[in-house]
Amino acid sequence: MSAESAAPEQRPENLKTGLFYGWYVVGAVLVIMTVTAGLGFYNLSVYLKAFVVQGGFSVSATSGATACFFIASGISGLGVAALIERYDPRWVITAGAFVAAFATLGAGYVTELWQLYLFYVLFGIGYAGAALIPGTTLVARWFARRRSVALSYASTGLSLGGILLTPLSAWLIERLGLGGAAPWLALIFILGVVPIAWLLIRPSPQTMGVGPDGDPIARDAAGTPLPADGIDFEDAIRSRFFILTAIAYIFAMMAQVGVIAHQYSLIFARTENSNTARLAVATMAMASIVGRLIGGQILAYIPSRGFVLALTIVQGVALVFYAFVQSTPMLIATTVIFGLTVGNLLMMQPLMVAEAFGLKAYGRIYSLTQLFMTAGVATGPAAIGFLYEWLGGYQVAFLAMALASLLAFLLIMAAGPIRALMDQAERASRAAG
């Protein structure tokens, strides 16, 4: 059934309490992102170690297969976006969870190189169906005025997954082996996603008789509900704002993900203390949660574009610090600064897409930006690793990532105002009326 044409469901009792149901959707998305990120994105390093140590694969072969996760996720995201525009997102999330769980279940049976690559491809497809694209689309549908706050709460699940579920996954694999842990991980993926999706998520506020933020549904003079506002997909992707911000995020996420991948190694090399390195990783995760929650509140008072520009500059400064500082206190302080930007930069991408282009083609536009971003996510760790081996240290590598952040800043500056296309569309609509 189409998400737009679905008949209004019976309003649950919690609507009578005055709490907008969209917050229940946010809670559900937070839980789903916790599970998908904890057993997916952050768990990739755990799988890499398991396939190398227990499966006997080389580091280079496993690293190449891991890149297939990002490629498969980025490409299949385009199809996921098209499906959630036509159908109830709960079906897409459910299908994604089962595909990811099926891939996880098969991880213990991987013995050949082609099976290793197939695992990561299927896992990437399932992750795309259950994680960011449907989650951010749902939050964008349910909120307008408080969209930044809602997204900050929902996307906190990304960091919580790395804190809560990735260590559990690593413990299970170390204790039971990959084959023994795989059924349990697959079960957690299903139980942590599917029941939550069907119990709490609703496709849109209109299916429950209200508009975004709980406002009355906007109607025309004849009383017919107005369609979702926004820019056509073809017009959006040809705009200067889309092109330049999409390229900017390639460089911003190249720097961010590359540094995250090498942060432990850098701090261990500088301090020769594994406890300090683990502390830094945990500190970064906590700082990203705090930063995201603070950012969601700040965005109620400052322009989104200005906030993103500030984030790219702060990230660049943190990477310059990483290149030079040696003492433990300064490394931890730098980790806090860097962590404050981590969650916010990722949160800002769907927020800017919704603000710039509206909800008319949000899913497809956002999925295309995700595909662009995959280039940065996939190349960042490899670029730092290459520079490290070539030059015998991290200093130049981290300075290069700081320059990537600066380039992201310049591209976003050149992209122009966020609301330019939406304002133009609204003026054209009023003129036609």
Domain boundary among 176, 211, 246: 211
Whole-number Å distance between alpha carbons of 61 and 59? 6
Residues 175 and 246 in one domain: no
Query: 391 and 283, same structural domain?
Result: yes
Same domain (yes/no): 310, 371: yes
Q: What is the CATH number of the domain that holds 313?
A: 1.20.1250.20
Is 377 domain-assigned? yes
* Digitized pLDDT (tens) for each residue of the chain, 433 residues in all: 444 444 444 444 444 457 899 999 999 999 999 999 989 887 887 887 788 888 888 877 777 787 788 889 989 999 999 999 899 999 999 999 999 999 999 998 999 999 999 999 999 999 999 988 999 999 999 998 888 889 889 988 888 888 888 888 888 988 999 999 999 999 999 999 999 999 999 999 988 888 899 888 877 666 667 677 788 889 899 999 999 999 999 999 999 988 887 887 788 888 888 788 878 878 888 888 898 889 888 888 888 889 999 999 999 999 999 999 999 999 999 999 999 998 788 888 888 998 889 888 888 999 999 888 888 887 888 788 888 878 888 899 999 999 999 999 999 999 988 765 555 555 554 444 5
Q: Is 204 in the same domain as 243?
A: no
- DSSP codes, 208-220: GT--GGGPPPPB-
CA gap 263, 280 in Å, rounded? 8
Are both 29 and 72 inside the same structural domain? yes
Residue 282 sits in the same domain as residue 391: yes
Per-residue model confidence (pLDDT) at position 2? 46
C-alpha R_g of the chain: 22
Q: Is residue 427 part of a domain?
A: no
Is 226 a member of any domain?
no
Looking at the structure, do residues 128 and 261 belong to the same domain, yes or no? Answer: no
Q: What is the pLDDT of residue 6?
A: 45
Same domain, 266 and 125: no
CA separation for the pair 245, 121 (Å, rounded): 27
Whether 57 is covered by a domain: the verdict is yes
Is the domain of 192 the same as that of 248?
A: no
Residue in 247, 246, 259 with CA at minimum distance from that of residue 339: 259
**Domain check: are 163 and 307 in the same one?**
no
pLDDT at residue 341, rounded to an integer: 92
pLDDT of 423: 56
337 with 271, same domain? yes
Number of domains observed in the structure of the chain:
2
Q: How far apart are CA 209 and CA 138, in angstroms?
A: 16
**Which residue range forms the structural domain that includes residue 90?**
18-211
Q: Has residue 12 been placed in a domain?
A: no
Q: Based on the domain organization, do 122 and 251 belong to the same domain?
A: no
